[in-house]
Structures are given as structure tokens and as C-alpha cells.
């Protein structure tokens, strides 16, 4: 089994396990930790699958960006789990309570900034080559003609 597929499957199993733990034994740190780990694993696995190169290995820049992103997302989710309950006068982090800011910015905004830049830097190795792009366009034109043909 390939890394991306195995990671996606393992992340899905971890998330299902976390739901089962929360349902049958009540919410707790174990269920939250397993859910956080499964979420990070499934996100990174999908990013890994999306960056499959035409040939050879994935570029070091992309692997490094995914590794750094995984560490940061795990840290943000973990910090969101261990931080205490917010009080009414708690300080805000970029306009949000600390836990909400860590989750929204660390899991939502950060990947939306890092992944496109990493893909952009590695696109010549991971994108379509001119021959495959021409084949894709030719096939697309065939399908378009098929669709607009007589009925």
C-alpha cells in the first residue's frame, strides 16, 4: 500500500476510533488526541497524494514543507486541547480567543498559505508535461464533441 493511501486509511480509522471513544466513554483527552492525530494524518496524506510527481521522487522542498506543516498543525491542535478554558477577560490572539485562533489559523489559514507555495515551487516536476497536457486537451475536446453531438 502506498504512503498516501495508507495514511488516509489510518487517519480515517483514527477519526472513527475517536468518535467511538467519545460516544461510548464520554469526551476526554484520549479521544481528542486521537482525533487530532487522525485529522493531521489524513490532511497530510491527501496533500501527499495531490503532489505525486510524474516520475521519480517528490522534491525535497515539498517533503520539507509537508513535514513542517504537519508539525505545526499537530502543535496547534495539541495546544488547542491542552489550553485551559477561556475566561471572559482573556486576551485575544489576532482577534479571537487563543484556542479558536490556534485552530482556525493553524489548521485553516496556514495550510492555505504554505501548500500552494510549495506546489508552485515544485510544479515543473509534479505538474503535467507538455505531451500529457496535449493528450489531456485532445481527450477533453473529444468528450466535448461527444456531448454536443446529435441527440
Under 8 Å between Cβ of 141 and 149: no
pLDDT at 151: 55
Residues in the chain: 151
pLDDT at 39: 92
Phi, psi values for residue 146, rounded to 5°: -60, -40
Secondary structure element (H or E) that encloses residue 49, with its range: helix 29-50
Tens-digit pLDDT profile for residues 53-72: 666 777 788 888 889 999 99
The interaxial angle of helices 60-82 and 29-50, nearest 10 deg, is 160
Cell numbers standing for residue 94: 489576532
Q: Tell me the sheet residues that pair with 92.
A: 97
Categorize the per-residue pLDDT at 103 as very low, low, confident or very high, splitting at 50, 70 and 90.
confident
pLDDT at 149: 60
pLDDT at 150: 61
Mean pLDDT value of segment 131-141: 88
Q: What is the pTM of this model?
A: 0.72
Whole-angstrom Cα distance, residue 25 to residue 44? Answer: 28
Q: Residue 95 — left, alpha, or beta (φ > 0 → left; ψ -120 to 50 → alpha)?
A: left
Amino acid at each position: 500500500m502506498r504512503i498516501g493511501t495508507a495514511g488516509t486509511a489510518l487517519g480515517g480509522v483514527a477519526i472513527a476510533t475517536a468518535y467511538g471513544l467519545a460516544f461510548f466513554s464520554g469526551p476526554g483527552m484520549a479521544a481528542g488526541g486521537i482525533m487530532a492525530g487522525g485529522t493531521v494524518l489524513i490532511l497530510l496524506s491527501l496533500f501527499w497524494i495531490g503532489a505525486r510527481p510524474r516520475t521519480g521522487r517528490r522534491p525535497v522542498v515539498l517533503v520539507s514543507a509537508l513535514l513542517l506543516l504537519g508539525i505545526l498543525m499537530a502543535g496547534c491542535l495539541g495546544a488547542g486541547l491542552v489550553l485551559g478554558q477561556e475566561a471572559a477577560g482573556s486576551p485575544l490572539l489576532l482577534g479571537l480567543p487563543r484556542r479558536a485562533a490556534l485552530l482556525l489559523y493553524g489548521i485553516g489559514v496556514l495550510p492555505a498559505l504554505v501548500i500552494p507555495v510549495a506546489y508552485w515551487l515544485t510544479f515543473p516536476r509534479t505538474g503535467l508535461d507538455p505531451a500529457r497536457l496535449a493528450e489531456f486537451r485532445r481527450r477533453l475536446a473529444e468528450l466535448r464533441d461527444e456531448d454536443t453531438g446529435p441527440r
